[in-house]
Amino acid sequence: MGKADYTLIFIVEDDKFYADVIRKALESRNFMNIKTFATGEDCLKHLDLKPEIVLLDYRLGEDVMDGMDVLKSLRKSGLDAQVIFLTGVDKLEVATNTIKAGAYDYVVKSEAAIERIRNIIRRITFENHIKRENLLLRRSRKIILTIIFLLAIGILVLGALQVMR
């Protein structure tokens, strides 16, 4: 069994059965920090938790926000989560619109969907890991350059003090 992954994943799906299937499939692959929401409104109330990935149903039911509205609200909030749309609608136009609106990917609900979702999430978590590593390397580089600069100044000051004696 692999190492547990605590990447926060939101599942926004009005079909409770399908949401549970996805959650269990992800937990079986060691994703252990998953929150499910039946509506976009519920999801948006919990953005303070800062999910890294949002699995978002395209059609969330009657009289509630649809997936595109939720995506727009996510982007407006400044949240930098990757959004994967889930839908039963297998239309190129819908897929194109979701990607143009800022979604990371688009998955049609089918027998192969669960494995595709797991693979996309693995790719996102790997990319996020690389981004964090690059950020740490840049910060470390700045710190090292600052230390070298301060050491050089210290050496110059010590040299100047010795000359003055």
CB burial class (10 A; 0-12, 13-18, 19+) of residue 130?
exposed
User: What per-residue confidence (pLDDT) applies to 5?
Assistant: 86
Q: How confident is the model at residue 2 (pLDDT cuts 50, 70, 90)?
A: confident
Domains and CATH numbers, the chain: 5-134 (3.40.50.2300)
Mean of the pLDDT values across residues 13-18?
Answer: 95
In this model, does residue 90 exceed pLDDT 90?
Answer: no
Instruction: State how far the Cα of 152 lies from the Cα of 29, in Å rounded to an integer.
Output: 51
CB burial class (10 A; 0-12, 13-18, 19+) of residue 151?
exposed
Q: What is the mean pLDDT of the chain?
A: 93
User: What per-residue confidence (pLDDT) applies to 23?
Assistant: 95
Read off the pLDDT of residues 16-27 as tens digits, 9 standing for 90 and up.
999 999 999 999
> Which residues have C-beta within 8 Å of that of residue 11, sequence separation ≥ 6?
19, 22, 23, 34, 35, 36, 37, 55
Read off the pLDDT of residues 120-165 as tens digits, 9 standing for 90 and up.
999 999 999 999 999 999 999 999 999 999 999 999 998 888 888 7
